[in-house]
Structure 1
Amino acid sequence: MNTVLVTSTGESTGKTAITLALGLLAKERGLDVGYMKPKGTRLQSSTGKTLDEDPMLARELLDIDAEMHQLEPVVYSPTFIQGAIRGKENNEELSEVISHHFDDLSADKDLMLVEGGGSYRTGGIVDLTDADVASLLDAEVVLVADYSHPSDLDDLVAAVEDIGSDRLAGIVFNRVNDSVYDELETEVAPFLEARNVPVLGVVPAEKDLAGVTVQELADELGADLATDAPTDAFVERFLVGAMGGDAALRYFRRTKDAAVITGGDRANIQRAALEAPGVKCLILTGGHRPVGAVIGKAEEKGVPVLLVTGDTLSVTDRAEDIVSTGRTRDERTVERMRDLLFEHADVDAIIGGIEPSNETDGDDE
């Protein structure tokens, strides 16, 4: 049985989609695949109740017969972290619990996929970073990373050193924009491979995997649409409008694929946002309906206006959470990532040497 742990240099790198896509590719090769996420980090509240959708999606897509407490034995909630700081968590016992459930889940499997926490460092306070988990479970490590600038390599090299060259299978760069794709393949990859760090894949950015549509955002926020404008544009980031009109316009013009969040009574900011080509929608807080001139301008520009009742800070937090998690947790996204890995990554280097253990011979009659 082989074990592969998929970790990342930071949060929201597409780690879940890549982990499950590898599972689909392995199943297509006839392998019996298991899954585990030792540290649940996507939680509903600080009380420890988990709503982590990753193991639930894995259970469905990979046809895994297991309970949530097995797939996700450590609920890494704020309450858990506070307890660990106060000495209420026993590191050795936690490791034993993970090992116990891993042994049950991996029985008769050809390949075990282990998904890391928020980043490779998550779990350090209880000696359960992803490097620690890899050592505990004797796993090879695939490190998922973003890349937009050469300075990103500092964090990447630090992660490689923490994981160790003896465990690292290689790097998969995900969501790589066209502007840096050639640089990554012709300069960065050779640089890393010269340091004995294999680059297993350079996966291009896919717009429909990078954000959420305005309609999806409206549905998740429970927003009312104040305009008759198309809602199929993608939003990848949020800008909070809290400055004067001239400063706001300069600020908004420096971005793309953004939603501007501001009070429904801030007409000057709303007008400035509508002048910026990179603004795809307005989210107006406080339950205030904008003046008619703003609605008219928005419809003329084809920019939808969403009305929500919450305050700007809470709406911004909720919207960012939707973008960072919402597009990587559905079957369609995983299937698209399966295609991208097949086309742009060395899947054989990860799972190619594993043979199915449950093949049956043909009848001898």
Structure 2
Amino acid sequence: MAKTLMIGSCEPFSGKSALVLGMARKCIASQKKVRFGKPLATTVELFSESESRNSKIIDEDVRFIGKTLGLSAKDLIPSVDYISSESSESRLIDSNLQPGIRFEEFKETLLDPIDGINILEGAGSLHEGLLYGLSLVELVKRLDIPALLVHTWQDSRSVDDLLAAKQELEEHFVGVVLNGVDPSEINNIQTKVVPALGALGIEVFGIMPRSPLLRSVTVEELASRLEARVICCSDKLELMVETLSIGAMSVNSAMEFFRRRRNMAVVTGADRTDLQLAALEASTQCLILTGAGEPLPQLVNRAEELEVPLLRVDRDTLSTVEVIENAFGHVRLHESVKATYAFRLVEEHCDLTRLFSRLETHS
């Protein structure tokens, strides 16, 4: 089998795709060939049931990363299966826990020799995909390949999941890249936590700081999740939102607050024109109006002048805020600006040279 590495995580949206991008670009820069795929697809273009049985399944994350890296179509490894409520129900009713014939085809693809590496990205957690016979633990053992985890680090309690993963993956566990670390804590983790993890048999290949940009969400994504009506600037929905502000204070207090924030989505009542106009003069990416009433013409005109989208939602402020907060850090890396930042983040904060050297010696 060609050199193959599985990138996994203990929980979804931990930064796997960002690490894949950084690793793959490093290989390509070294004139090494890269093939990439997700054994279990989670986002695909809609297709009919007959097409799903006969067509290659290429996950949308795989398409995006392939396009970003300039990979050819033959370097995108088709998925074995697509996780959905329909396919999950069918497997459950049939009590079918085997990956099926497509897994053998998938394995054959990995056997083709290349001067480089096959990079595989696992599902959201160690156990997602068990119903398909395609959980991360099952895959690395069936394929006999090493696994590197990307793990969101909050404090020392975060080590529990890593210890459990190391125990389950056994000799296939290579190590971890810690992600989402408070920048002020990086030095402490490097000097104290990394040696302690090493003593527990957990090798750390990188410490990536928390990134507001990578956690950000487009205005278009927010509009979709909120089922919002776009009042103006529909051509600016690609703007990235990094923070959330709620306009529920006096104008003077709001101005001071808004000045300290950047790339905001501001949620406020449709009747608070004073706050809305104040928000437009700050680093606001979109205004989201709740409650009764429609925005005044002067607000719409000013928003159009400043090219700030106005969204109107049929929700109360509390539920609107909840939807937005759930979106941050839980969207896929499908924007070129995020990909560019991911390249730099991995290059600056991960020791890929040591990782590739470790893979060469991994049995």
* Normalised TM-score (structure 2): 0.72
Say if 1:223 and 1:308, in contact at 8 Å, map to a contact too.
Answer: yes
Cα deviation code 1:49-84 (max 9, x no counterpart): 78842111233225233397x522210111122222
One-letter amino acid of the counterpart of residue 175, structure 1: G
The residue number in structure 1 matching 2:92 is 85
Provide the C-alpha distance between the structure 1 equivalents of 2:300 and 2:349, rounded to a whole number of angstroms: 44
Cα deviation code 1:19-50 (max 9, x no counterpart): 13211111222222211201111357798878
Aligned partner (choices 55, 66, 76) of residue 59 of structure 1: 66
Say if 1:24 and 1:62, in contact at 8 Å, map to a contact too.
Answer: no
The residue number in structure 2 matching 1:152 is 158
One-letter amino acid of the counterpart of residue 76, structure 1: I
One-letter amino acid of the counterpart of residue 139, structure 2: V
Alignment of 1:1-365 (within 5 A): 1-42=2-43, 52-60=59-67, 61-66=69-74, 71-87=78-94, 90-92=96-98, 94=99, 96-109=101-114, 110-164=116-170, 166-212=171-217, 223-225=230-232, 235-236=241-242, 259=265, 261=267, 264-265=269-270, 282-285=287-290, 288-290=293-295, 306-309=310-313, 311=315, 317=323, 320-321=326-327, 324-326=330-332, 328-352=333-357
For residue 205 of structure 2, give the secondary structure of its aligned residue in structure 1.
strand
Deviates further, 2-11 or 121-130: 121-130
For residue 137 of structure 2, give the secondary structure of its aligned residue in structure 1.
helix
Provide the C-alpha distance between the structure 2 equivalents of 1:305 and 1:58, rounded to a whole number of angstroms: 28
Cα deviation code 1:130-180 (max 9, x no counterpart): 11111122221110011223322223322332222x111111012322132
Say if 1:23 and 1:33, in contact at 8 Å, map to a contact too.
Answer: yes
Q: Structure 1 residues 62 and 231 mapped into 2: Cα distance closer, same or farther (>3 Å)?
A: closer
Provide the C-alpha distance between the structure 1 equivalents of 2:13 and 2:352, rounded to a whole number of angstroms: 22
CA RMSD, Structure 1 to Structure 2 (Å) = 4.7
For residue 345 of structure 2, give the secondary structure of its aligned residue in structure 1.
helix
Percent of residue pairs bearing the same amino acid type: 23
**Deviation (angstroms), 1:331:** 4.3
Say if 1:285 and 1:309, in contact at 8 Å, map to a contact too.
Answer: yes
Q: Structure 1 residues 192 and 319 mapped into 2: Cα distance closer, same or farther (>3 Å)?
A: closer
**Deviation (angstroms), 1:346:** 1.6
**Deviation (angstroms), 1:198:** 0.1
One-letter amino acid of the counterpart of residue 21, structure 1: G
Q: Structure 1 residues 63 and 46 mapped into 2: Cα distance closer, same or farther (>3 Å)?
A: closer
For residue 148 of structure 1, give the secondary structure of its aligned residue in structure 2.
coil
**Deviation (angstroms), 1:108:** 2.4
For residue 156 of structure 2, give the secondary structure of its aligned residue in structure 1.
coil
Q: Structure 1 residues 168 and 323 mapped into 2: Cα distance closer, same or farther (>3 Å)?
A: closer
Cα deviation code 1:188-225 (max 9, x no counterpart): 22221110100010012344333136588569966335
Say if 1:4 and 1:139, in contact at 8 Å, map to a contact too.
Answer: yes
Say if 1:170 and 1:199, in contact at 8 Å, map to a contact too.
Answer: yes
One-letter amino acid of the counterpart of residue 129, structure 2: G
Q: Structure 1 residues 283 and 46 mapped into 2: Cα distance closer, same or farther (>3 Å)?
A: farther
Provide the C-alpha distance between the structure 1 equivalents of 2:19 and 2:119, rounded to a whole number of angstroms: 11
Number of equivalent positions: 339
Q: Structure 1 residues 303 and 160 mapped into 2: Cα distance closer, same or farther (>3 Å)?
A: farther
Say if 1:106 and 1:112, in contact at 8 Å, map to a contact too.
Answer: no
Say if 2:34 and 2:117, in contact at 8 Å, map to a contact too.
Answer: yes
Say if 1:285 and 1:315, in contact at 8 Å, map to a contact too.
Answer: no
Say if 2:177 and 2:204, in contact at 8 Å, map to a contact too.
Answer: yes
Cα deviation code 1:281-318 (max 9, x no counterpart): 5422578424699999x99xx99673235546689658
Say if 2:18 and 2:346, in contact at 8 Å, map to a contact too.
Answer: no
- Gap regions ≥5 residues in structure 2: none
**Deviation (angstroms), 1:117:** 0.7
